[in-house]
């Protein structure tokens, strides 16, 4: 807190709860708090609601979860009122949905937009969070609820010379609101994660020329997006409750689950037939609705990886480009699997070129383009599809300080410590929606978000009913949860790979597997059991 504010020259508003963020999580949190009669205020850095879908306006941005699951379940009326146009809706449609939700439930007035939280300090004498924004707001609250997303802290890599670049540059996660027209331009895209893989085919169709700068080739599975017919829409609405119930208890919050079958138990012909059948369906089901051993047994994983490598060879005409695009050296699925629409085929276009940065690394950005170890590639625009400081990044930048003035980022120097991915010791009455140690990013986010917000609000109701004013995990519960999260990850192939799940994409970030990989349904059961046992693992005082 600045001296001026600490001296109390600005009046502090007093509410029961502060919510940070107006995406899927923040909107629902405000909806629930209001229903409970708790006074609240929301702060949102963006100029409107939407969170991820407010910021990620890059060409081709769309959901990787099907529309009928990538949405709220809390209101049957909303489910019936809103009609999705297609299987995987684009950014604009999802943003319209969230705007509709904000309008329908009158949630906007709860938020101050264009307002960035810069400090949240726990006042131990008064058991209150003192929250301060860059815009000068000061609010005191008993509860602090962060709803800042897991992938909202965009990372532009430190490449020398960016400031000298004569063209325009963009980050996919911070895309301008006005139309960006690449027609007639020479464009470079750095990065081939989900954002790169979604945007590259679209930019290639618009730009005069596209150069893709690839550091690590990625596996990708076809999305097979398609419009929904009116019959399909009606059928989905009829069955929506059942679909939702399946999602709630499934491994990744989807209406399908891993088959109780090992890939290794099948003959090569049976395996190929099953892989082909799931490939034809499109979407994550190919990996996460298939064999249970793919992400735990390297031999099974190799079979899946080889299948996709074959698909890449089939799709890409030039053998050398196909070779460069073919991932090797890490198990498939251990970097978040992208879904694509003709990503690999895009490299058959005359106006698209692939540069393999493992062979010819970027040395600098220069006024007219990007200089690699062998050439200068002339560019009018650069797109950074270089990802995010995942899960901990959005929380660390809020300026959160708990007991004894200890900063959250200081506590987490060696990696995040949480109980259930929701709370962290030393920071009483702080609740993180989809924090590190929660399943969140390993599946359908809205499923996770609703479960977390429901758990938090039930907990607040319990605290109110029992007269408790302070909620904090015990040291034992936090340590056990951390060990459990780590142990589960160690039983999979994930820790072998440099990925954002492991914090490996951010220089200096501790190498720790960030989410809980025990499955959404299992996690929900654990949370229910914790609540039923009087919020076991928490100290209520
Ligand atoms: P990402 O998966 O972290 O990918 C970043 C890419 O940039 C990687 O290819 C990375 O290469 C490359 N890169 C980073 N720094 C670089 C550097 N200095 N030089 C060259 N290349 C560099 O980020 P993302 O694609 O934005 O996706 C992040 C996550 O957001 C996804 O995994 C997903 O969970 C979510 N997302 C979801 C959707 C959706 O659901 N529709 C869409 C987009 C994103 P390396 O692999 O070598 O590090």
Report the sign of the C-alpha dihedral through residues 55, 499, 399, 170, in that order. negative
Q: Which residue, by CA, sits nearest to atom 15 of ligand 1?
A: 386
CA of 446 to the centre of ligand 1 (A): 21
Contact call for residues 300 and 293 (beta carbons, < 8 A): yes
Any idea what the Cα angle at residue 488 is, between residues 484 and 490, rounded to 5°?
Answer: 115
Domain residue spans of the chain: 13-49+107-153+389-540
Rounded distance from Cα 229 to ligand 1 centre (Å): 33
Helix (H, G, I), strand (E, B) or coil at 531: helix
The DSSP string of 46-85 is SSSS-THHHH---TT-B-SS-TTTSS--S-HHHHHH---S
Calpha distance 114→137 (Å, rounded): 12
CA of 60 to the centre of ligand 1 (A): 15
Beta strands in 106-167 (DSSP E): 111-112, 117-123, 128-133, 138-146
- The residues with which 41 forms a beta bridge, in sequence order, are 18
Query: Of all protein residues, whose CA lies closest to atom 48 belonging to ligand 1?
Result: 505
**Crossing angle (nearest 10°) for helices 230-249 and 520-532:** 50
What residues are in contact with ligand 1 under a 6 Å CB criterion? 62-64, 151, 157, 172, 190-196, 198, 215-216, 336, 357, 385-388, 441, 500, 505
Cα-based distances in Å from 427 to 286, 386, 395, 471: 41, 32, 13, 9
Q: Please, what's the b/e burial string for 258-268 (b: 16 or more CB within 10 A of its CB; e: otherwise)? A: beeeebeebee
Distance 382 CA to ligand 1 centre (A): 15
SS3 category, 115: coil
Element (H, E) at 186: strand 186-190
Homologous superfamily, domain 13-49+107-153+389-540: FAD/NAD(P)-binding domain (3.50.50.60)
For residue 47, how many other CB atoms are within 10 A of its CB? 11
**Position in ligand 1 atom list of the atom nearest CA 339:** 41
> Hey, which of 160, 193, 288 would you mutate to test ligand 1's pocket, going by the most ligand atoms within 8 Å of its Cβ?
193
Beta strands, E only, 385-470: 400-401, 430-432
pLDDT tens, position by position, for the chain (541 residues)? 333 334 444 568 999 999 999 999 999 999 999 999 999 999 999 999 999 999 999 999 999 999 999 999 999 999 999 999 999 999 999 999 999 999 999 999 999 999 999 999 999 999 999 999 999 999 999 999 999 999 999 999 999 999 999 999 999 999 999 999 999 999 999 999 999 999 999 999 999 999 999 999 999 999 999 999 999 999 999 999 999 999 999 999 999 999 999 999 999 999 999 999 999 999 999 999 999 999 999 999 999 999 999 999 999 999 999 999 999 999 999 999 999 999 999 999 999 999 999 999 999 999 999 999 999 999 999 999 999 999 999 999 999 999 999 999 999 999 999 999 999 999 999 999 999 999 999 999 999 999 999 999 999 999 999 999 999 999 999 999 999 999 999 999 999 999 999 999 999 999 999 999 999 999 999 999 999 999 999 999 9
Reported as a single tens digit per residue, the pLDDT across 247-299 is 999 999 999 999 999 999 999 999 999 999 999 999 999 999 999 999 999 99
Give Cβ neighbours of residue 317 (< 8 Å, ≥ 6 apart): 348
- Atom 4 in ligand 1: residue holding the nearest Cα: 193
Q: Helix axis angle, 445-466 relative to 24-36, nearest 10°?
A: 30
Residue nearest to atom 26 of ligand 1 (CA): 387
DSSP state, 190? E
pLDDT tens digit sequence for 316-369: 999 999 999 999 999 999 999 999 999 999 999 999 999 999 999 999 999 999
Kindly report the protein residue whose alpha carbon is nearest to atom 5 of ligand 1: 386
Question: What is the arrangement of strands in the sheet containing 381-384, beginning at the earlier edge strand?
Answer: 168-171, 381-384, 186-190, 209-214, 352-356
Ligand 1: which of 63, 195, 328, 337 to mutate, judged by most atoms within 8 Å of the beta carbon?
A: 195
310's enclosing H/E stretch is helix 298-315
Q: Is this model's pTM higher than 0.85 or not?
A: yes
Closest ligand 1 atom to the C-alpha of 151?
30
Distance 258 CA to ligand 1 centre (A): 25
Question: Are the beta carbons of 356 and 214 closer than 8 angstroms?
Answer: yes
To test the pocket of ligand 1, the residue of 362, 370, 387 to mutate (highest count of ligand atoms within 8 Å of its CB) is 387
């Amino acid at each position: 807190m600045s001296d001026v504010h600490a001296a109390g020259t600005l009046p502090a508003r007093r509410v029961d709860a502060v919510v940070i963020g107006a995406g899927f999580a923040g909107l629902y949190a405000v909806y629930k708090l209001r229903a409970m009669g708790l006074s609240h205020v929301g702060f949102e850095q963006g100029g409107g609601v939407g969170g991820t879908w407010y910021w990620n306006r890059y060409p081709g941005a769309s959901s990787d979860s099907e529309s009928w699951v990538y949405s709220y379940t809390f209101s049957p009326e909303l489910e019936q009122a809103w009609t999705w146009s297609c299987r995987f809706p684009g950014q604009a449609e999802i943003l319209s949905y969230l705007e509709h939700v904000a309008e329908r439930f009158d949630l906007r007035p709860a938020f101050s937009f264009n307002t960035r939280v810069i400090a949240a300090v726990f006042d131990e004498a008064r058991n209150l969070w003192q929250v301060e924004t860059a815009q000068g707001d000061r609010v005191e609250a008993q509860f602090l609820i962060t709803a800042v997303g897991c992938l909202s802290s965009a990372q532009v890599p430190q490449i020398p010379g960016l400031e000298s670049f004569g063209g325009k540059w963009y980050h996919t996660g911070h895309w301008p609101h006005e139309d960006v027209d690449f027609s007639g331009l020479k464009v470079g895209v750095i990065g081939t994660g989900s954002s790169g893989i979604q945007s590259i085919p679209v930019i290639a169709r618009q730009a005069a020329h596209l150069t893709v700068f690839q550091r690590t080739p990625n596996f990708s599975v076809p999305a097979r997006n398609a419009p929904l017919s009116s019959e399909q829409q009606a059928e989905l609405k009829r069955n929506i409750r059942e679909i939702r119930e399946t999602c709630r208890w499934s491994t990744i919050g989807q209406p399908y689950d891993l088959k109780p079958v090992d890939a290794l138990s099948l003959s090569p012909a049976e395996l190929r037939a099953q892989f082909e059948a799931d490939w034809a369906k499109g979407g994550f089901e190919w990996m996460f609705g298939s064999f249970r051993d793919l992400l735990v047994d390297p031999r099974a994983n190799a079979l899946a990886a080889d299948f996709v490598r074959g698909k890449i060879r089939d799709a890409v005409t030039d053998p050398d480009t196909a070779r460069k695009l073919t991932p090797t050296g890490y198990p498939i699925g251990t970097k978040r699997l992208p879904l694509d629409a003709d990503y690999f085929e895009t490299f058959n276009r005359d106006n698209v070129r692939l540069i393999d940065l493992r062979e010819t690394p970027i040395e600098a950005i220069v006024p007219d383009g990007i200089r690699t170890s062998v050439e200068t590639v002339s560019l009018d625009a650069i797109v950074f599809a270089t990802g995010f400081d995942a899960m901990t990044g959005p929380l660390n930048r809020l300026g959160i300080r708990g007991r004894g003035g200890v900063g959250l980022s200081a506590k987490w120097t060696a990696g995040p410590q949480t109980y259930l991915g929701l709370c962290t010791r030393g920071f009483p009455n702080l609740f993180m929606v989809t924090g590190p140690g929660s399943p969140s990013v390993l599946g359908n986010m809205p499923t996770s978000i609703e479960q977390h917000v429901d758990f938090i609000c039930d907990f607040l109701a319990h605290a109110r009913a029992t007269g408790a004013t302070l909620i904090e995990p015990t040291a034992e519960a936090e340590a056990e949860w951390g060990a459990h999260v780590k142990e589960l990850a160690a039983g999979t192939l994930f820790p072998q790979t440099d990925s954002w799940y492991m914090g490996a994409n951010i220089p200096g970030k501790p190498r720790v597997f960030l989410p809980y990989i025990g499955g959404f349904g299992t996690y929900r059961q654990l949370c229910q059991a914790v609540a039923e046992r009087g919020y076991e693992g928490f100290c209520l005082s």
